Amino acid sequence: WVFMVTARAPTNIAVIKYWGKRDEKLILPINDSISVTLDPDHLSATTTVAVSPSFSSDRMWLNGKEVSLGGERYQNCLREIRSRGRDVVDEKSGTLIKKEDWQTLHLHIASHNNFPTAAGLASSAAGFACLVYALAKLMDIEERYAGELSAIARQGSGSACRSLYGGFVKWDMGKERDGSDSIAVQLATEEHWEELVILVAVVSSRQKETSSTTGMRESVETSELLHHRAQEVVPKRIVQMQEAIANHDFASFARITCVDSNQFHAVCLDASPPIFYMNDTSHRIINCIEKWNRFEGTPQVSYTFDAGPNAVICAPSRKVAGLLLQRLLYYFPPDSSKELSSYVIGDTSI
Ligand code: DP6
Pocket lining: 304 vs ligand 1, CB cutoff 6 Å = no
- Judged against a pLDDT cut of 50, whether residue 345 lies above it is answered with no
Q: Which residues contact 260 (CB under 8 A, 6 or more apart)?
A: 15, 16, 17, 234, 237, 304
Q: How do beta strands 59-62 and 106-113 pair?
A: parallel
- At CB < 8 A and 24+ separation, what contacts does 233-237 make? 233/263, 234/16, 234/31, 234/32, 234/33, 234/260, 235/31, 235/32, 237/16
For the chain, count helices (H), then strands (E).
Answer: 9, 18
Pocket lining: 20 vs ligand 1, CB cutoff 6 Å = no
Q: How do beta strands 28-29 and 33-37 pair?
A: unpaired
Name the amino acid, one letter, at 165. Y
> Which residue puts its alpha carbon closest to atom 4 of ligand 1?
306
Task: Note if the bond before 273 is cis, omega within 30 degrees.
Answer: yes
Ligand 1, pocket-test mutation among 13, 16, 17, 18, most atoms within 8 A of CB: 18
Q: How far apart are CA 157 and CA 24, in angstroms?
A: 10
Q: How far apart are CA 255 and CA 252, in angstroms?
A: 5
Q: 194-208, 257-271, 307-321 — which one is most confidently predicted on average?
A: 257-271
Q: Which atom of ligand 1 is nearest to the CA of 216?
A: 6
Q: How far apart are CA 197 and CA 317, in angstroms?
A: 6
Q: Which atom of ligand 1 is nearest to the CA of 124?
A: 3
Pocket lining: 263 vs ligand 1, CB cutoff 6 Å = no
> What is the CA(14)–ligand 1 centre distance, in A?
9
**Which pLDDT tens digit goes with each residue over 112-142?**
988 765 445 657 899 999 999 999 999 999 9
Pocket lining: 218 vs ligand 1, CB cutoff 6 Å = no
Q: How far apart are CA 336 and CA 284, in angstroms?
A: 16
CA angle 281–19–33, rounded 5-degree value:
100
Query: Rg for the chain (alpha carbons), in Å?
Result: 21
SS3 210: coil
Q: Which residue, 281, 294, 296, 295, is CA-closest to 328?
A: 281
Residue 5 φ/ψ, nearest 5 degrees: -140, 140
Q: What is the number of residues in the chain? A: 350
Average pLDDT score over residue span 41-59: 94
What per-residue confidence (pLDDT) applies to 201?
Answer: 86
What per-residue confidence (pLDDT) applies to 66?
Answer: 97
> Which residue puts its alpha carbon closest to atom 1 of ligand 1?
306
96 and 88 in contact (C-beta within 8 Å)? yes
**Which pLDDT tens digit goes with each residue over 137-194?**
999 999 999 999 999 999 999 999 999 999 999 999 999 999 999 999 999 999 999 9
Pocket lining: 155 vs ligand 1, CB cutoff 6 Å = no
Give the ipTM: 0.99
169 and 184 in contact (C-beta within 8 Å)? yes
What per-residue confidence (pLDDT) applies to 350?
Answer: 34
Order of all β-strands in the sheet with 59-62 = 3-10, 44-52, 106-113, 59-62, 65-67
Pocket lining: 158 vs ligand 1, CB cutoff 6 Å = yes
Q: How far apart are CA 256 and CA 15, in angstroms?
A: 8
**Which pLDDT tens digit goes with each residue over 217-264?**
999 999 999 999 999 999 999 999 999 999 999 999 999 999 999 999
pTM for the complete prediction?
0.94
